[in-house]
Amino acid sequence: MKTGQILIALFPIFLLVGFSATAEESNGLAPEITDLNAKDVSYALEAKLPDLEQAYITTAPVDMKDGIPVGKLGADGGDREMILKYAEEIAEGLHDVTDSLLISYKGKLIFESYYRRGRVNYPHYQMSITKSYTAMALGRAIQLGYLSMADLDKPVVSFLKDLDRKKLVPGAAKVTLAEALNMHSGIRIDKDKAAELMRQPAKLKGQGQIQAYLEHSAPISDETQSYKYQASDPAITMQVVEAVVPGTARDFIENELLAKMGIANYAWQADVSGLPKSAAGSSFRSRDMIKWGMLVLDDGKWAGEQLIPAEFVTQATSRIYTNSANNYYGYFWWLGDMKVGDKTYDCKSGRGAGGQFILMLPELDLLVVTTAHNKGMGKALATTPKRILPAFIK
């Protein structure tokens, strides 16, 4: 199967369940898009999907034989009535412009719902959460021996042999891979210069993209190497993956990571370099976002196989950097506190503008995935401790 190929849906759209007391007892499958192909997946085309006439809500998700164990909300944990009430409010438009909400508890998917543009087989466009997936691709390269954990502290230029080091700005040669993973590369490019470079895309192919970043940045120093959330740092990371693995980064991600997790129904746009985009641009189904969360919660294991080193997962989801708003950042993964009453729970998360979230609460063995098409980030981070966590706290 070619990279990013989308499986053609084999089923028509089934009954969309409303909010009756027996909603979870429906035998119908979740809503689908029929005759779906890779070319149909994009941010622009997703915006044209018609809203569902009724939300699909189930407290007993169907076992799709996709590697995700299923259970039943209530019987396998969680307060059924609390979650159903919240789901009904989502359908009524009271909580963001939500397209899906899925909940996994103690390793079982026990709640699944789709609203508006949400479809079980349609990969939802992923904004900055794509950075989190990029980090895991690097982790896979470490697991297979193409890099080591010690390599994280090496300069990125040591992996990128096509760079013309003579043209790099002062300080560029010292930027480490770990610093790029934590948004501390120190790259600072004038907006006008960036626009000028983008008008010459042929020069940005391959490692030309990183050459441009490191050649046209202001000099890199301890002062400039403060935290800055920007596209250059994940681009560097993807370029290192491309440089160290056999073949291309695209094929490596597909064959050595996604295929291992049974993820085939996805899309991943190409960057100007020709490599997969790393700051935003992937598209995954909500169920496959659950898989990413399961991978992290199980310390890099999938179906008993160690796909990512546990040490890398721990480091990627640790509080390496703290900003003024008490948000924490690891290797392209976010960390934070969720408070319920007088108790605080650690939350590890992947976040994307518009409202794509993978929220993991290890202490509760709870995983929440939501997708949306908000104008901003939405309120999932604020709403989850108020409406979802209490349903799983005894």
DSSP string for 307-360: -S-HHHHHHHTS--EE-TTS-EESSS-EEEEEEETTEEEEEEEEEETTTEEEEE
pLDDT at 7: 31
* Last residue of one domain, picked from the residues 219, 244, 269: 244
Q: Burial code of 21-36, b = ≥16 C-beta within 10 A, e = fewer?
A: eebbebeebbbbbeeb
End-to-end CA distance of the chain: 46
Structure tokens at 147: 């890099």
Say whether both 159 and 84 belong to one domain: no
Lowest mean pLDDT across 26-40, 45-59, 173-187: 26-40
193, part of any domain: yes
Report the alpha-carbon distance of residue 305 to residue 303 in Å, rounded.
6
Note down the domain range covering 179.
Answer: 147-244
* Last residue of one domain, picked from the residues 244, 266, 293: 244
Mean pLDDT for the stretch of residues 237-266: 97
139, part of any domain: no
pLDDT at 265: 92
Report the alpha-carbon distance of residue 25 to residue 62 in Å, rounded.
11
Mean pLDDT in the chain?
91
Please, which residues have CB within 8 angstroms of residue 383's CB and are 6 or more apart in sequence? 95, 96
If we measure between CA atoms, which residue out of 228, 225, 201 comes closest to residue 212? 201
Is residue 187 pLDDT above 60, yes or no? yes
Band (pLDDT 50/70/90 cuts) for residue 40 is low
Say whether both 229 and 311 belong to one domain: no
If we measure between CA atoms, which residue out of 295, 297, 312 comes closest to residue 260? 295
153, part of any domain: yes
357, part of any domain: yes
* Last residue of one domain, picked from the residues 217, 244, 271: 244
The total domain count for the chain is: 2
Query: What's the CATH number where 178 sits?
Result: 1.20.58
Q: Phi/psi of residue 322, each to 5°?
A: -125, 130
Considering the chain, what percentage of its residues have pLDDT values greater than 90? 84
273, part of any domain: no
Say whether both 61 and 163 belong to one domain: no
Say whether both 306 and 223 belong to one domain: no
If we measure between CA atoms, which residue out of 279, 264, 315, 5 comes closest to residue 130? 279
108, part of any domain: yes
pLDDT at 341: 93
Query: What's the CATH number where 340 sits?
Result: 3.40.710
The string of pLDDT tens digits covering residues 25-39 is 344 678 887 666 656
217, part of any domain: yes
Q: Which carries the bigger pLDDT value, residue 191 or residue 302? A: 302
Say whether both 63 and 155 belong to one domain: no
Say whether both 54 and 105 belong to one domain: yes
